Amino acid sequence: MSNETKGTDQLASTRHRKGSGKLRHIWSEIPTRLQQLLDGVRHRRLRALARTAGYGVLRGAASTVGASGTAWIIWWIQQR
């Protein structure tokens, strides 16, 4: 018994990547990877925009409740 590496046990070169059981050239994956990165950037940007809009709605609602509460207190004091 020896520990010699066989042809199938050797690592692929750095210019190749094994995907879905096939040895493919790394350059064929670059457009796919770029699209995935752009989709991730779009997703994060959209989430940040939605979060900002959500905070704006919350701040607006809090301001409205505060203003109407203040107005109600002023009206109540004037009635006494």
Tell me what pLDDT residue 74 has: 95
Residue 19 to residues 8, 25, 29: CA-CA distances in angstroms? Answer: 16, 10, 10
pLDDT, residue 18, reads 57
d(CA 50, CA 62) in angstroms, rounded, equals 18
Asked if 16 contacts 24 with a C-beta cutoff of 8 angstroms, the reply is yes
Other Cβ atoms within 10 Å of 59 Cβ, number: 10
Report if pTM > 0.95: no
Q: For residue range 23-78, list pLDDT tens digits in order.
A: 666 667 778 888 888 888 888 888 888 888 888 999 999 999 999 999 999 999 99
- CA dist 29 and 15 (Å) reads 11
For tokens 């002023």, what's the residue?
Answer: 74
